[in-house]
């Protein structure tokens, strides 16, 4: 009786092996197609958030992160690869933040003709203020110039004060490209 079940078990094992190969081989092949260097340009797709000022911070952060990965940055139209950036930002409420310290100053005497100097020393106040919080999602898509097929993509999201866009851009780009050329399987959350 066990010998009669054995051919069915072999057939089942063979079919499971075929399914596993069908799932894993395309993923391994696509990781091999992702370039680990070369010439690249960074372009911004239409900013869906309506905040055009944030685009420069994200392009600068992406170019710095890509150059750290060994890519040579060129102008649009001259590079072999194009990294497209898509930003989606939305306000999510308010939070509290620390009040920033004022700068220290050293000045000559306060009264004309007097000898001496005065200085002010910045001391943290421990006070907080309300800040607008912004949810920012960055999606990066890599493709060859003149070819619309995406060869690598990833997405990362963070919630930070709205006035800290440059630090959010740098954190999102670094998080996305940290494991490059590995393909992120999910959206990366950045604290």
Q: 35-102+126-190 sits in which CATH class?
A: alpha beta
Could you tell me whether strands 38-44 and 71-73 are parallel, antiparallel, or unpaired per DSSP bridges?
parallel
Ordered by start, the domain boundaries in the chain are 35-102+126-190
Q: How far apart are CA 51 and CA 130, in angstroms?
A: 21
Tokens of 73: 């940055």
Q: Is the pLDDT of residue 7 over 80?
A: no
Give the residue-averaged pLDDT of 139-154.
Answer: 94
Mean pLDDT of the region 80-99: 89
Whether pLDDT at 153 is above 80 = yes
User: What is the C-alpha end-to-end distance of the chain, expressed in Å?
Assistant: 59
Cβ atoms 136, 88 nearer than 8 A: yes
- What percent of the chain is predicted at pLDDT more than 90? 46
The mean pLDDT value for 2-12 works out to 59
- Say how far residue 145 (Cα) sits from the centre of its chain: 22
pTM for this predicted structure: 0.69
Predicted pLDDT of residue 128? 82
Write the pLDDT tens digit of every residue in 37-81: 899 999 988 655 556 667 889 999 999 999 999 999 998 888 999
Q: What are the percentages of helix, strand and coil residues in the chain, rounded to 5?
A: 30, 35, 30
pLDDT, residue 163, reads: 86
- What pLDDT does residue 27 have? 44
């Amino acid at each position: 009786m066990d010998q009669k079940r054995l051919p069915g078990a072999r057939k089942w094992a063979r079919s499971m092996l075929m399914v596993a190969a069908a799932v894993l081989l395309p993923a391994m092949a696509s990781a091999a197609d992702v370039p680990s260097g070369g010439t690249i340009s960074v372009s911004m797709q239409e900013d869906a958030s309506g905040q055009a000022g944030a685009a420069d911070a994200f392009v600068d952060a992406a170019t710095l992160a890509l150059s750290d990965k060994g890519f040579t940055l060129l102008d649009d139209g001259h590079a072999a690869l194009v990294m497209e950036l898509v930003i989606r930002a939305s306000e999510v409420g308010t939070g509290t933040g620390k009040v920033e310290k004022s700068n220290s100053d050293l000045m000559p005497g306060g009264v004309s003709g007097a000898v001496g100097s005065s200085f002010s020393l910045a001391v943290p106040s421990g006070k907080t203020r309300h800040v607008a919080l912004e949810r920012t999602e960055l999606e990066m898509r890599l493709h060859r110039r003149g070819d619309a097929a995406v060869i690598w993509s990833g997405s990362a999201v963070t919630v930070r004060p709205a006035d800290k866009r440059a630090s959010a851009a740098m954190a999102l780009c670094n998080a996305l490209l940290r494991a490059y050329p590995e393909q992120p399987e999910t959206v990366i959350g950045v604290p």
